[in-house]
Structure 1
């Protein structure tokens, strides 16, 4: 069993730091986006909060003190400050960090007495909030004062106190509070280290899972590519996923199919060229010499009439020369048959039979379904054997049967039309004539019948069946179905 290993210079090492960097960037971008989206929402929340303050309860929180006493005035202002802070933290989300923990002057309470004296909470108000206080009139009937500057805004509202005093509550909203709170103020070295560990652990887990899923599929592609490089184009990548890698594997498989077909076609063409060369060489050398040998033996037979004791030997030699010439003619004719790879089986059979029967007066027909022709053209070697069987059977009928018609048919059974999952019946290739027929059992197996059986055996699951009678001869080759894909 092959184990999965993570290489320290592979995708795993590249993905882990990438995940950490992306995690930090995502945190910063999330804070920035949240700050932008929160700005308008926070303004409406704070205005609603200040508008809905329970002013009598706030006035009662100051107690019955003499506000003319600076210490008592400061205590009353602090009481109002913390009461507002408690209510705000309860009713407004993120109110405490939004105000910067009230340590930067973004929330302040000022008490003004009718005589002009007053006090304020510490620390001092921020510049924008101080300007808003200055612009706010000391009048309970006046509306809330809003002041904006550089994206910030400050709001001042009023609360009536006993003795005619007025408490003014000011809030300064700073849009950058969230980034400052999450990344600067609240991010200690320990927090950064912990975040780094969390992101590293998450990145390592994510990268390990991704690399395991990815590399396993890539290795299948690599194994198939190695087999292709070694010449085994039957290998296919087993990946049925519908993602990009699955589509790539499907493209590679189609490429292997195309290469296999191209190499098969190239091989068939090379065989065709070599067959043509051999046929030409035999015709120009051995066949011509056998013809001359036959002439010499005929001349010798004529001269041997003056020597009767030599006539049987010379006659037998001449007959052997005739058989040799006929065999060479058959071989040259077989080598000269059209190439399946160039013309296809239908055209090759038609041309071969037409050339063989030309001038004989014998009619012939070819019944080859389109689906069967397409399947056989995809297997040039099997198609060539069928072509040779057809030529041999037709040549025998021409020479010996005295027939007037030859019918050639391919009977693919249900293989071409069968539904998926249905077993297809065996195919049959039939050559029949209407001649006088012969007794196959009484005929010695010569090169003709022997070649027919040998070529039938070369087909996948091939078997030859010869039936002959008074109504003619039927040569049938049974073989396994060819793939139509």
Structure 2
């Protein structure tokens, strides 16, 4: 199973092999082009040295007593010089014998010439390039001129003959790119070693450089994201679209960051809920109880003050203030003691909070929220908490001031979501209303939402608080 995973086309192993093959062929092509140029220059030098090294005394001895103007004698002399040259080449240049068959295609020729022109030549006829070279060599002052045609070249060396003035043998050699000539077998082995070393070295270095460079870039992106995570920014993600082993590892790290971020959000929401419950308990066990006792004492004092008419209005006013204080503390404790969103979700928390807040008030209430979007805030507990507190403040204001009979809460999904709390109460003049902490808190909470905007409208038929914001990330 491990072998099958390693051989999958998207695996690093296969990518490395494919890269090695591609780079290897590219390096082979490049090295071949370089070596071709090097071989051509080297072979040119080898043939020049070979022709310069011909035993001219031996060739002159072959021509002794031969009249080159005699057609048959001329042909025989040209043939002897041809074979003498071949034997010298077989001894001095390796692979010369292997390529000997190509000489029958006119790539090696001997011509006997004098001042009048060509006397005779070996068969078969020379190649066009070699023919041109032999013709121009008759007038060239160079000892061994070179004639080129793209990658092919021809070289001709003259050998003076002793029998007649201005009579000489022209030995012409046509090199073409398919030939591989080496001076000695030993030097050929060293040449192969050098070429193989260059080829393998270039392939290995190219593959290592490309592979390490690409892997370094991917690791660098992962390192940058990890540094951002360490700084507390869990929104950072490693960008890697590959599906190989490293890509799957990156995907797991991104999923881990998502899980940690969600866990931190849940822990934060839970910590807020725990702290609110603690404050609620402390207020309930201290200030609320003392305000209740204070109300009882003022009630007793009001009863005792029945016989003291001047004191009675002051005592009644103090008792009413105590009742208001106790109701305010009740509202505060109820607000702080909101059910935990992390435990129940925003929709269920709404039901419990509104039910507790309006219990015994006689006010009818309803929540209109599409069923398929009720879990949208599970991944955004901070947004949910702010919306819950805006709702609580708006409902509490309606309960205390609006003298309403019904309260309606709506959540409307769309390009921008809307969170609306409306009542059918007596309304108020927004322009002249004191800008208290309640309205200020609602505006502040709305501004903390993504793209949050709060709009408050009021008329004699009721008040509406509308908060619009960007959709939660889950949607």
TM-score normalised according to structure 1 size: 0.55
Deviation at 1:312, TM superposition (A): 5.3
* Residues 395 and 411 of structure 1: CA distance in aligned 2, closer, same or farther (over 3 Å): same
* Structure 2 residue aligned with 1:438: 428
Q: Distance in 2 between matches of 1:238 and 1:87?
A: 60
2:464 aligned with 1:478? no
* Structure 2 residue aligned with 1:363: 364
Matched residue count: 301
The 5 A counterparts of 1:3-82 are: none
* Residues 377 and 240 of structure 1: CA distance in aligned 2, closer, same or farther (over 3 Å): same
Runs (4+) of structure 1 exceeding 4 A deviation are 85-90, 184-187, 304-316
CA deviation string 1:248-283 (max 9, x = no partner) = 323322221121111111211122122222211211
Deviation at 1:408, TM superposition (A): 1.0
Q: Distance in 1 between matches of 2:442 and 2:294?
A: 29
Q: Distance in 1 between matches of 2:326 and 2:421?
A: 26
Q: CA RMSD in A?
A: 3.3
* Structure 2 residue aligned with 1:348: 349
Q: Distance in 2 between matches of 1:464 and 1:297?
A: 42
CA deviation string 1:15-72 (max 9, x = no partner) = 9xxx8xxx9xxxxxxxxxxxxxxxxxxxxxxxxxxxxxxxxxxxxxxxxxxxxxxxxx
* Structure 1 residue aligned with 2:445: 455
SS in 1 for 2:286: helix
* Structure 2 residue aligned with 1:219: 220
Deviation at 1:371, TM superposition (A): 5.7
Deviation at 1:307, TM superposition (A): 5.0
* Structure 2 residue aligned with 1:235: 236
Query: Unaligned stretches of 5+ in structure 2?
Result: 1-15, 25-96, 103-184
* Structure 2 residue aligned with 1:275: 276
CA deviation string 1:114-166 (max 9, x = no partner) = xxxxxxxxxxxxxxxxxxxxxxxxxxxxxxxxxxxxxxxxxxxxxxxxxxxxx
Does the CA-based 8 Å contact 1:372-1:484 persist in structure 2?
no
Query: Unaligned stretches of 5+ in structure 1?
Result: 1-14, 24-84, 91-183, 416-425
TM-score normalised according to structure 2 size: 0.56
Deviation at 1:466, TM superposition (A): 2.6
The 5 A counterparts of 1:71-220 are: 188=189, 191-220=192-221
Does the CA-based 8 Å contact 1:429-1:478 persist in structure 2?
yes
2:258 aligned with 1:257? yes
Q: Distance in 1 between matches of 2:258 and 2:442?
A: 32
Q: Distance in 2 between matches of 1:448 and 1:312?
A: 31
Greater Cα offset, 363-372 or 304-313: 304-313
SS in 2 for 1:468: strand
Does the CA-based 8 Å contact 2:221-2:239 persist in structure 1?
yes
CA deviation string 1:314-340 (max 9, x = no partner) = 444434433332222112101111111
Deviation at 1:353, TM superposition (A): 1.6
SS in 2 for 1:188: helix
SS in 2 for 1:460: coil
Q: Distance in 1 between matches of 2:249 and 2:274?
A: 37
Q: Distance in 2 between matches of 1:312 and 1:455?
A: 41
Q: Distance in 1 between matches of 2:384 and 2:196?
A: 71
Does the CA-based 8 Å contact 1:371-1:484 persist in structure 2?
no
2:459 aligned with 1:469? yes
* Structure 2 residue aligned with 1:177: none
* Structure 1 residue aligned with 2:393: 392
Does the CA-based 8 Å contact 2:265-2:382 persist in structure 1?
no
* Residues 230 and 438 of structure 1: CA distance in aligned 2, closer, same or farther (over 3 Å): closer
Q: Distance in 2 between matches of 1:427 and 1:281?
A: 36
Does the CA-based 8 Å contact 1:438-1:468 persist in structure 2?
yes
* Structure 1 residue aligned with 2:118: none
2:334 aligned with 1:322? no
Deviation at 1:311, TM superposition (A): 4.8
Deviation at 1:86, TM superposition (A): 8.1
Deviation at 1:217, TM superposition (A): 0.9
Q: Distance in 2 between matches of 1:475 and 1:185?
A: 98
* Structure 2 residue aligned with 1:133: none
Greater Cα offset, 385-394 or 300-309: 300-309
Deviation at 1:208, TM superposition (A): 0.9
* Structure 1 residue aligned with 2:124: none
The 5 A counterparts of 1:288-303 are: 288-303=289-304
Does the CA-based 8 Å contact 2:334-2:357 persist in structure 1?
no
Deviation at 1:369, TM superposition (A): 2.8
* Residues 444 and 185 of structure 1: CA distance in aligned 2, closer, same or farther (over 3 Å): same
* Residues 208 and 86 of structure 1: CA distance in aligned 2, closer, same or farther (over 3 Å): closer
Greater Cα offset, 426-435 or 275-284: 426-435
* Residues 359 and 329 of structure 1: CA distance in aligned 2, closer, same or farther (over 3 Å): closer
* Structure 2 residue aligned with 1:27: none
* Residues 86 and 239 of structure 1: CA distance in aligned 2, closer, same or farther (over 3 Å): closer
